[in-house]
Amino acid sequence: MRLLSVRLIVSLILGITGVSAGFSYYEVLGEKRAPRNDVEHRAEMLGKSLVGNVERSGNTGSDIVAGNVPNNVPNKQLQRLVQRFGNREHLLGVVIYDRQGALVAMTPELTRTLTVSPPPGTNAIA
């Protein structure tokens, strides 16, 4: 009888430990996903807001959306817009590319960091 109660107690302890470990692991994964989802959502909202402002900036905005902006043409209005958005949300910076992947505007903070077009940006343009 004593052997049966020892086995039962050990089985219960192992079962409860296993369930607790599994639940804790699931919770940790959820806690890691939440900030990532929040950042992705905020980036999407900021991107949509930036696109709307670029489109409203007149011919230049519609040219960018159509992909017709010539390379290396400085645009002070877009540069101000990028600078304003770059100061929000504790961002490192903001970059605008046209549909061909040519750089249109960039915040000064990123000129030191970003030397080539990042692969996610290139994939998004494609």
pLDDT, tens digit (0-9, with 9 covering 90-100), for 117-126: 777 767 776 6
Using one digit for the tens of pLDDT, what is the confidence trace for 75-85? 778 888 888 87
Q: Which residues contact 50 (CB under 8 A, 6 or more apart)?
A: 81, 85, 94, 96
pTM score:
0.54
Q: How far is CA 82 from CA 22, 44, 57, in A?
A: 46, 16, 12
Question: What ranges do the domains of the chain cover?
Answer: 2-125
Q: Is pLDDT of 115 > 50? A: yes
